[in-house]
Amino acid sequence: MRAVILTAGEGTRMRPLTLTRPKTMLPVGGKPLLEYTVEALKEAGIKNITMIVGYQKEAVKDYFKDGTSLGVNIDYVIQEERLGTAHAIGQIYGTLKEDDDAVIVTNGDIILGHRLIESLMTKFYESQAQSILVLTQVDDPSSFGVVELEGDHIKDIVEKPSLEDAPSNLINAGIYLFDRNIFKAIEKTEKSERGEYEITDSLKIQINKGKKVLGLVSQDKWIDVGRPWEFLELNEHFLELSESKIEGEIEEGATIHGPIILKKDSIIRSGTYIMGPVYIGENCDIGPNTFLRKHTSIGNNVNVGNAVEIKNSIIMDGTNVNHLSYVGDSIIGADCNIAAGTNIANLRFDDEGVKVTVKGKRIDSGRRKMGVIFADGVKTGINSSFNPGVTIGLNSSIGSGAIIYRDIPDNKIVIHHQTQEMMDKK
């Protein structure tokens, strides 16, 4: 059996974080989201993996290479035009080997556990189904593909119905198992109203022809990882599963509560107080007198200075968080410089949910506490302040003492602290 991971998309709802990498390569719990899927497949005994890549494909290929370092065999198929899930899956037909009697297909941006994969394979071989779709229950199915079940047979799939018209609260979880018949259905699949070839339409073709298309209801945690705050939730999830592993140095006088992962050539200096679970990558310098709170994930080559507090945040590779700064409930990109005294607010005065811009619209994150999203290469001036939910674009710089209350586009310099006046970077 072969596994296929769909990781060709742009992840536009995650911009500006995805301007320099695919969404599936964003780090959670110390490694790219995509790596968790590869590990789960390996644990389930599947070592032959095809990745469907497209947008920023080199970031994926340079990291995973042929899979040897993870104990699997990885090859790549390039989806030049991203025309939907059925189109992506159809790309692999010519690459299948004789012994690839079936394929497990999963979106690269979801949580996938090895026990679920094992259950899926068992059901497939015992039932001799043509296709199996993993389902999960949600409170509001109106934003998803909703499934109508009769026993474990799928009778229909309805895309994004109103809450009143939804046939159930079971939705497509983005994990499938197909035999080779799926490629015949894909050939007959027409473009949807969105202008894409949808795999759910291919499944409907099988259902209408009386093929055995089954649903497997998963009880595992499922997160629709599409927007920045959902990556914080995912980071929390993976860190809660972590166990302590100390490869670096902890100076005398540092206090550690709860599990931490400290990678090689990193140091935690005296006076630092850590409440785990916390992840700290390679070649990091933390402290002295720094406070790292639960669910903080720090990448490689990161410096966190004296008297800094970081809470429930993702700090990516090569970033400096300098002394006397506060970072709460935020995602900070790679190669940023957070100047001394930078303060990031993560709570509205009225205690309402923090709004964040997604594809040009302000969306309520549903989180009472949410800080900022910084793209790669952001620089802040000393004593700058940021209101909750603000997004700062790629390589932009914020002047000293500035109070930022709205989003800043890419490649801008904020030069006036009262009017938030901007100019283009030269």
DSSP string, 10-74: --GGGTTGGGSS-GGGSEETTEEHHHHHHHHHHHTT--EEEEEEBTBHHHHHHHHTTSGGGTSEE
Instruction: Among 131-140, 267-276, 341-350, name the most confident range.
Output: 267-276
Is 57's pLDDT higher than 60? yes
The pTM (predicted TM-score) of the whole model is: 0.88
- Look at residue 200 in the predicted model and tell me its pLDDT: 86
- Look at residue 167 in the predicted model and tell me its pLDDT: 75
* pLDDT band of 84, cuts 50, 70, 90: confident
C-alpha to C-alpha distance for 423 and 415, rounded to whole angstroms: 7
- Look at residue 155 in the predicted model and tell me its pLDDT: 87
C-alpha to C-alpha distance for 416 and 418, rounded to whole angstroms: 6
**pLDDT tens track for 86-134:** 898 988 888 888 777 889 999 888 887 888 888 889 998 888 888 998 8
Number of alpha carbons in the 13 Å side-chain half-sphere of residue 266: 24
Average pLDDT over residues 81-86: 84
The DSSP bridge partners found for residue 386 are 344, 404
Give the residue with greater pLDDT, 189 vs 220. Answer: 189
**Residues across the chain:** 426
Average pLDDT over residues 366-381: 94
- Give the number of other CB atoms < 10 A from CB of residue 71: 10
C-alpha to C-alpha distance for 59 and 400, rounded to whole angstroms: 34
List active site positions: 323
Percent over 70 (pLDDT), the chain: 98
Is 423's pLDDT higher than 80? no
* pLDDT band of 62, cuts 50, 70, 90: very high
Is 76's pLDDT higher than 90? yes
C-alpha to C-alpha distance for 202 and 154, rounded to whole angstroms: 13
Is 418's pLDDT higher than 60? no
- Look at residue 52 in the predicted model and tell me its pLDDT: 94
Q: Are 397 and 414 in contact (CB under 8 A)?
A: yes
Is 269's pLDDT higher than 80? yes
Is 166's pLDDT higher than 80? no
Give the residue with greater pLDDT, 131 vs 284. Answer: 284
The DSSP bridge partners found for residue 147 are 157
Average pLDDT over residues 367-385: 95
Give the residue with greater pLDDT, 223 vs 285. Answer: 285
Mean pLDDT of the chain: 90
Average pLDDT over residues 263-277: 97
- Look at residue 421 in the predicted model and tell me its pLDDT: 67
Select from 223, 7, 214 the least CA-distant residue to 113. Answer: 223
Instruction: Report which residue type is found at 98.
Output: E
Percent over 90 (pLDDT), the chain: 55
* pLDDT band of 417, cuts 50, 70, 90: low
- Look at residue 150 in the predicted model and tell me its pLDDT: 81
C-alpha to C-alpha distance for 189 and 192, rounded to whole angstroms: 9
* pLDDT band of 399, cuts 50, 70, 90: very high
Which DSSP category does 293 fall into?
A: -
* pLDDT band of 195, cuts 50, 70, 90: confident
Average pLDDT over residues 345-361: 89
φ/ψ of residue 125, rounded to 5: -75, -35
